[in-house]
Amino acid sequence: MESPDGTPPDAERGATVPNEDPLDPTRMRDQPALRTSTGTEWIVIGLVLAGISIAVLLFQDHATSDVVAGAVLSLFVAMVVVRFTVHPRRPRVVTLAVLLALIPIVTIAELLALIVL
């Protein structure tokens, strides 16, 4: 029901439609790193993280550590391929973020498996 001046009731209370809000940098999907990055920063961080992970894994005296080091290297190579082949910015950066997160997850999972075994 409209008010006497013709505005909708929500407008009287100052409510806004959620989809019409300006960018809110406190929301996860509106972070500048996910909106404006070209992907180069993610590659540099991935290189450092993959290098550290591979070094730690290669110092383990276990056959599976070499396989997991290869998997970490494959994740980094996938990051480079995504960086140069996926053109829409947001899907590229989200994919890079997922691949980057998988590097320490795989490494830590292997180290925990070595501790348990």
Q: What is the pLDDT of residues 15-44, one digit of tens each?
A: 555 555 577 767 776 777 667 778 889 999
- pTM summary value: 0.73
Length of the chain in residues, anyone? 117
- Cα gap 53→95, rounded to integer Å: 20
% pLDDT > 90, the chain? 56
- What pLDDT, on the 0 to 100 scale, is given for residue 12? 52
Sign of CA dihedral 66, 117, 112, 60: negative
- Cα gap 86→98, rounded to integer Å: 14
CA atoms within 13 A on the CB side of 4: 0
Whole-number average pLDDT of the chain: 84
- Cα gap 84→37, rounded to integer Å: 13
14 pLDDT more than 70: no
